[in-house]
Amino acid sequence: MAKTTVVAPAAAKEQYLQLHRWMCMAKALDDRMHMLVKQGRAPFVGSSRGHEGIQVASTAALGPDDWLVPHYRGLANSIVRGLTMKEWMLAVFAKADDPLSAGRNIPGGCYSYHRLNIAPVSQVVASWVPKAAGIAYAAKLQGEGSVTLCTFGDGATSRGDFHEGVNFAAVHRLPVVFVCENNSYAISVPIRLQMANPNVADRAAGYGIAGATVDGTDVPACYAVCKEAVERARRGDGPTLIDAKVWRMNSHTSEDNHVKYRGKDEIDEAAAHDPIARFGAWLLERGWLTADDLARAQAECDAEASDAADWAEQQPDPIAEDALKNVFA
Ligand X SMILES: Cc1ncc(C[n+]2csc(CCOP(=O)(O)OP(=O)(O)O)c2C)c(N)n1
7, 91, 125, 224: which one contacts ligand X (CB under 6 A)?
Answer: 125
Q: In terms of DSSP bridges, do strands 67-69 and 111-113 run parallel, antiparallel, or are they unpaired? A: unpaired
- Measured between alpha carbons, how far is 120 from 138 in angstroms, rounded to an integer? 15
Q: Of 169, 154, 322, nearest to 232 (Cα)?
A: 169
Alpha-helical segments (H) within the chain: 13-38, 52-60, 75-81, 85-92, 128-141, 160-171, 204-207, 219-234, 264-271, 275-285, 291-313
277 binds ligand X (CB under 6 A): no
77, 151, 183, 251: which one contacts ligand X (CB under 6 A)?
Answer: 183
Nearest-CB residue for ligand X: 153
Q: Which is nearer to ligand X, 249 or 297 (CB)?
A: 249
193 binds ligand X (CB under 6 A): no
Answer whether 1's CB lies under 8 Å from 80's CB.
no
27, 49, 73, 245: which one contacts ligand X (CB under 6 A)?
Answer: 73
Q: Which is nearer to ligand X, 256 or 300 (CB)?
A: 256
Q: Which is nearer to ligand X, 11 or 150 (CB)?
A: 150
DSSP 319: P
- Measured between alpha carbons, how far is 303 from 139 in angstroms, rounded to an integer? 40
At its nearest, how many Å lie between ligand X and the CB of residue 71? 6
99, 153, 175, 239: which one contacts ligand X (CB under 6 A)?
Answer: 153
- Measured between alpha carbons, how far is 219 from 208 in angstroms, rounded to an integer? 27
- Measured between alpha carbons, how far is 319 from 329 in angstroms, rounded to an integer? 20
Q: Which is nearer to ligand X, 96 or 124 (CB)?
A: 124
Instruction: Annotate 161-228 with DSSP letters as a single string.
Output: HHHHHHHHHHHTT-SEEEEEEE-SEETTEEGGGT-SS--GGGGHHHHTSEEEEEETT-HHHHHHHHHH
- Measured between alpha carbons, how far is 68 from 58 in angstroms, rounded to an integer? 10
Q: Which is nearer to ligand X, 146 or 151 (CB)?
A: 151
Length of the chain: 329
At its nearest, how many Å lie between ligand X and the CB of residue 247? 11
Q: Which is nearer to ligand X, 125 or 226 (CB)?
A: 125
187, 193, 299, 303: which one contacts ligand X (CB under 6 A)?
Answer: 187
Site for ligand X, residues 74 to 103, rule: CB under 6 A: none
Residue 258, classified by CB atoms within 10 Å of its CB into exposed (0-12), middle (13-18) or buried (19+), is middle
124, 171, 205, 259: which one contacts ligand X (CB under 6 A)?
Answer: 124
Q: Which is nearer to ligand X, 250 or 298 (CB)?
A: 250
At its nearest, how many Å lie between ligand X and the CB of residue 252? 6
At its nearest, how many Å lie between ligand X and the CB of residue 156? 4
At its nearest, how many Å lie between ligand X and the CB of residue 99? 23
Site for ligand X, residues 32 to 71, rule: CB under 6 A: none
Segment near ligand X (CB under 6 A); pick from 74-82, 88-96, 139-147, 151-159: 151-159
- Contact residues: ligand X, CB under 6 A: 73, 123-125, 152-156, 183, 185-187, 252
